[in-house]
Amino acid sequence: MFNIMNIGNARSGRLSLGQAIRTLRKEHHLTQQRLASAAGMSRTTVWQLESGRGTLTVDNLLAVAAALSAEIRIEPRQQGYGDLDSLFGQSDTSPHD
């Protein structure tokens, strides 16, 4: 399984989601048309996703990931989040009901 969000480059360490999709597609030796067919969408949609011009829906992302045998993992940005209260900006440390 590939992690679609951890494909890096030398400059920034990470690619955009569209660049990651394109990279995985090429590693699988797929054309945009073949990926589109496997994901149940049009070639134009794949092109839009790869170029950052399309609206990425959760359904499209899941379909592309499945077609590429890629996993999707959502991680918070690396800003030192220690717990959910700090993640959501709450500083109240009193017990919650």
Do residues 64 and 49 lie in contact, with contact meaning Cβ atoms separated by under 8 Å?
Answer: yes
Q: Return the pLDDT at 90.
A: 45
Q: Return the pLDDT at 76.
A: 64
Q: Return the pLDDT at 71.
A: 84
Q: Return the pLDDT at 95.
A: 52
Side chain identity at residue 58, one-letter code: V
Per CATH, the number for 2-74 is 1.10.260.40
* Mean pLDDT in consecutive groups of 10 residues from the start of the chain, 97 residues: 43 72 94 97 95 88 93 66 48 50
Q: Return the pLDDT at 91.
A: 47
Q: Return the pLDDT at 49.
A: 93
Q: Where are the domains of the chain?
A: 2-74
- For the chain, how many residues are written? 97
